[in-house]
């Protein structure tokens, strides 16, 4: 019997045998608590998460020191993510909302008081401008890189807007037009 042996004579086999009941108890508790799943075919595709854009952007409008705009996006677009972050040790702030487009692509809108180059570096790392897109009266600086998200940035004087994603030019143009035409939300 293992308990009759001096401690120095206990083997790895004795340790393994003593751990087996503990592992079984942990698995039983996890199974009862329904916190473990086994999915041999990979994760199941569930519904796309949803974000309350009105509530998120209104809260940002009250909390952030720059104007926040809420664009009216095309029918079929669904907001599925939102966040706010600090840049440069809290010197600048961001407000971001991500959308799944009707074509199943993704475009994220980030509003910030950071300078454009600081914002681009924060969101996608170091990139050089590759061109411009004119949407109505606003010039958007494009940062394209092969096999990575496209980025468009506009300086609206009181706020910088960054669009990022795998959307096509039409989707970027739709969101760019919607954000520029939106009036800042009341504080």
Neighbours of 10 (CB within 10 A): 13
Per-domain residue ranges of the chain: 53-181
Average pLDDT over residues 29-43: 68
pLDDT in tens, 59-111: 999 999 999 999 999 999 999 999 999 998 889 999 999 999 999 899 999 99
CB 69 within 8 A of CB 111: yes
pLDDT at 132: 96
The C-alpha atoms of residue 161 and residue 83 are separated, in whole angstroms, by 15
Q: pLDDT-derived band of residue 37, with 50, 70 and 90 as boundaries?
A: low
Neighbours of 83 (CB within 10 A): 13
Q: pLDDT-derived band of residue 44, with 50, 70 and 90 as boundaries?
A: low
Q: pLDDT-derived band of residue 184, with 50, 70 and 90 as boundaries?
A: very high
Q: pLDDT-derived band of residue 25, with 50, 70 and 90 as boundaries?
A: confident
pLDDT in tens, 150-170: 999 999 999 999 999 999 999
**Domain 53-181 carries which CATH code?**
3.30.200.100
Neighbours of 7 (CB within 10 A): 5
């Amino acid at each position: 019997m293992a308990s009759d042996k001096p401690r120095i004579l206990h083997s790895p086999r004795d340790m393994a045998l003593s751990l087996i009941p503990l592992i079984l108890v942990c698995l039983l508790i996890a199974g009862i608590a329904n916190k473990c799943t086994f999915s041999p075919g990979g994760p199941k595709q569930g519904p796309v998460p949803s974000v309350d854009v009105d509530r998120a952007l209104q809260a940002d409008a009250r909390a952030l020191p720059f104007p926040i705009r809420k664009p009216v996006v095309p029918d079929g677009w669904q907001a599925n993510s939102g966040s706010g972050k600090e840049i440069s040790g809290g010197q600048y702030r961001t407000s971001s909302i991500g959308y799944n487009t009707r074509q199943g692509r993704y475009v994220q809108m980030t509003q910030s008081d950071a300078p454009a180059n600081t914002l681009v570096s924060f969101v996608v790392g170091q990139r050089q401008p590759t061109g411009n897109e004119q949407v109505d009266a606003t010039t958007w600086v494009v940062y394209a890189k092969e096999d990575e998200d496209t980025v468009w940035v506009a300086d609206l004087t009181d706020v910088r807007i960054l669009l990022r994603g795998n959307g096509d030019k039409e989707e970027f143009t739709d969101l760019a037009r919607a954000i520029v035409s939106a009036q800042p939300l009341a504080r």
